[in-house]
Amino acid sequence: MSRFKLLLVDSGVVLESFYLCKLNVCFNSYGQWHDWYTKTNQTFDQMAEPVDMPEEQKLIKCLIKSFGTLPQDRKITYGVDLLESFQTCKNVRKGIKAVFNDFKIIEGRPVYIQLKEYLKRMITNGHLLENQKLPSTRELSSLLSISRNTVLTAYADLEQEGLIYAVKGKGNFVSQVETFNAPSIQLNWKDKINEQTFLADELDLMKHGVRWNHDMISFNSIAPDEKLFDVENFKRAFLNRMAIEGNIVLNYGYAKGYKPLIKYLLHYMEIKGVDIRNKDILITNGFTEGLDLLLSSLNKKHGRIICENPTHHTALKLFRLHGFDIEGIEMDDDGIDVSKLESFLSKKEYDFAYLIPSYHNPTGIVTSSKKRKEIMELFSAYQLPIVEDGFNEELRYSGSHLAPLAAFSGIGNNVIYISSFSKILFPGLRVGWILADKDLIYYLESMKRARTIHTSTLDQAVLFQYLNDGCFEKYLKKAKSVYKKKYELAVHTCQQAIPFKRMTGDGGLHLFLELENNIDSRSLLEKCYQKGVVFLPGDVFYTDGCGKDTLRLGFSRLKEREITQGIKIIGDTLRIDFGG
C-alpha cells in the first residue's frame, strides 16, 4: 500500500480502492515541509469550530494533520499542492460519495438497520477491506443526509457483531472477516428434479393458468372478499390474547394443536351434529396440509380412490402426486349418482372415497339429506373410509341445515372430516383441522410433527380468541348477506345473458356452467380474455379429462357491477363468436 493511501486511511477518508487524488508537489526537505505544515496548520487552528467549517477545509485539515504524523527523519518526497488543495478535497469528497452512492433509504424500516445491513454487505462482500477506516459518524451522517445518532447506532451494532472495531481517538475500522469465494459452478437443476416435482409443476394452475391483471374482471377466485374482513375485532383478539399469554403463544407449540382451539372446534363440530365420542382433532396449515398428511399416512393397499366427477382441483393434484388412480362418479343436481357409485364399488376395491357434500367445488351442488343417508349406508356396507371435505358449509343462503357426513356416521369412525375457515374467514391464517377417530389422530400427530413441527401457535391462539369472543357469528351474518346478494345477481345475470345447457350452484361463492353445443370453454376464454374477462375452464376439475365445455364462475371478490358486466361479456362472446 502506498504511503499516500495510508495517509488517506489515517485521515478517516475511505478511499483505499479509489485513486482520485494525485500529489502534485514534492517537498525536497523536511524544513520545506515543516514550514508549509506549520503555517497552514496555524491558519486552520484559527478558524471556527469544525461544525461550522466548510467540508473542503475540514478535509484539508485532516490531511495536514495526517502529514504531520510522519517521522521527521524521513525525507518527504510528496505533498499536497496548496494551490489545488481545495479542488483536490472536493475530489476526495466525491470519492467518498462514490463509495456509498448506492445506499437508498426504504420507507417504513428503521434507517439504522438499513445502514447496518448496507455496511455489513459491503464488508462481507469485500468492498470494505480489513483494517480500513470507516468515515467518522459526523462525516457519514452528512454524506448520507441522515442523523448522526443513526450512524452511531449502526456502528455500535456492527461492533457488537464483530464486523468493525473502534480505536479510541482514531475512529472505527473494519475487522477481520473470513470470506472465501469458492470456484463458481453452474448446475443444471432440472436434471436433479424428481418426477413428482415435475408433476406438481405441470398441475400448478398459478404458474400455468391464464395470466390476468387487476384491470380485468376475473371470475377465477373463490377466496373471500377482503373488504369484508373484520379487521378491528381481529386486532382486538390479537391484543387480548397477547395480554393473556403472549410469552406462551410466541414459543414452540404442540404438533396436535393449540388446546383451547381444539376444545372449541370439538364443540363446534358437536353443534353440527357430530358424535365426538372417541374422536379427536389435529390442527393443520389449512385443508391442503390436512389432506396431504392423511395421504402420507394411510396405507396405499389398492392405490385407487373414488370421488365425485368433477371435484376439487387441489385434491386431484394431491391424489396424483401420491400416485393414486382416481375414478370419478357423475353428479346429479342433488349430489353424486348413488347407483353408479354402488356399481363402481361392487366391481373394484378402493382405499377410500373423497366427497364434498356441501357447496361442492366446482359445481356448487349440495348433496341432499336423502343421498347423504344412502352414501353412508353404502360405504358402511363396503367398510370403506370417507374423507369428507367440509367446504363452505356455513355459506347456506336458503333451505334447512344439512348435517355433514361425519354426523351421519354416529358413533362410527369411518369418516375423516377435513376443513378450514379459509373460504369464509381469513385464508391468510392457514388454520385448518382434521376430525377423526382418536387412534388415527394419534398417528397423524406424529406425521405432522415430522413434517412441520406444528401450526403457528400465534395464529391458532388469535383465531381461538376471535371465535371465542363471538365475532365469527357476527362476521358470518354480514358476509352471508353480501355473498347472497352477489350469488342471486350472478344466477339471474347468467340466466339472462349466457346460453348454457346446465347451471349448478346452490350457494357458496361460485357457479358452474355447462355450455350448449359442446363449445370449448378454453376457446371461449381466449376470446373473453381479449375483452378483459377471465374465468376458470372446467376441465381442470375432471378426473378423466372431460368437461371441455364447462367453466366455473367465482364471484366472491367482484363488485356487483363487475359481475353483471363480466357475465354479459361472456354471453355476448358466446353468441357473436360461437353462435351460442
In this structure, of 73-87, 235-249, 366-380, 508-522, the range with the lowest mean pLDDT score is 73-87
181: in domain = no
> Where is 439: in which H helix or E strand?
helix 438-452
85: in domain = yes
Which one, of 505, 506, 508, 497, lies nearest residue 567 by Cα? Answer: 497
Is the pLDDT reported for residue 258 higher than 60?
Answer: yes
Is the pLDDT reported for residue 382 higher than 70?
Answer: yes
Condensed to tens digits (0 to 9), the pLDDT of residues 406-451 reads 999 999 999 999 999 877 888 898 999 999 999 999 999 999 999 9
Q: Which residues pair with 79 in a beta bridge?
A: 25
Please check whether residues 95 and 115 belong to one and the same domain: no
182: in domain = no
Is the pLDDT reported for residue 7 higher than 50?
Answer: no
Distance CA 254, CA 283 (A): 10
Among residues 43, 64, 99, the one where a domain terminates is 99
- Binned at pLDDT 50, 70 and 90, residue 60 comes out as low
Please check whether residues 56 and 152 belong to one and the same domain: no
- Binned at pLDDT 50, 70 and 90, residue 96 comes out as low
Please check whether residues 422 and 522 belong to one and the same domain: no
- CATH value at residue 341: 3.40.640.10
Please check whether residues 284 and 425 belong to one and the same domain: yes
Distance CA 237, CA 140 (A): 44
What was the pLDDT predicted at 336? 97
* Eight-state DSSP code of residue 399: S
Please check whether residues 286 and 432 belong to one and the same domain: yes
Please check whether residues 320 and 216 belong to one and the same domain: no
23: in domain = yes
557: in domain = yes
322: in domain = yes
Query: How many domains is the chain partitioned into structurally?
Result: 4
Average pLDDT, integer, range 455-464: 95
pTM of the model: 0.79
51: in domain = yes
Residue owning grid cell 382434521:
434
Residue 79 near residue 26 (C-beta atoms within 8 A)? yes
- Binned at pLDDT 50, 70 and 90, residue 169 comes out as confident
What is the average pLDDT value for the chain, to the nearest integer? 84
Is the pLDDT reported for residue 580 higher than 90?
Answer: no
Among residues 79, 99, 119, the one where a domain terminates is 99
194: in domain = no
Is the pLDDT reported for residue 332 higher than 70?
Answer: yes
- Binned at pLDDT 50, 70 and 90, residue 35 comes out as low
Please check whether residues 396 and 286 belong to one and the same domain: yes
Please check whether residues 391 and 445 belong to one and the same domain: yes
CA distances from residue 466 to 173, 234, 261, 461, 463 in whole angstroms, order as listed: 52, 6, 11, 9, 5
Please check whether residues 565 and 499 belong to one and the same domain: yes
- CATH value at residue 118: 1.10.10.10
Residue 239 near residue 440 (C-beta atoms within 8 A)? no
Alpha helices in 69-173 (DSSP H): 85-99, 111-124, 137-144, 148-160
Is the pLDDT reported for residue 71 higher than 60?
Answer: no
Is the pLDDT reported for residue 133 higher than 50?
Answer: yes
Distance CA 430, CA 234 (A): 15
- Binned at pLDDT 50, 70 and 90, residue 381 comes out as very high
Range of the domain at 487: 205-227+475-578
Average pLDDT, integer, range 97-121: 88
More confident residue, 181 or 128: 128
Please check whether residues 375 and 500 belong to one and the same domain: no
Please check whether residues 333 and 254 belong to one and the same domain: yes
More confident residue, 85 or 327: 327
Is the pLDDT reported for residue 88 higher than 60?
Answer: no
Condensed to tens digits (0 to 9), the pLDDT of residues 179-224 reads 667 788 888 999 999 998 988 888 888 887 777 788 899 999 999 9
Average pLDDT, integer, range 283-296: 96
Among residues 34, 65, 99, the one where a domain terminates is 99
Alpha helices in 322-437 (DSSP H): 338-347, 369-381, 405-408
Please check whether residues 452 and 336 belong to one and the same domain: yes
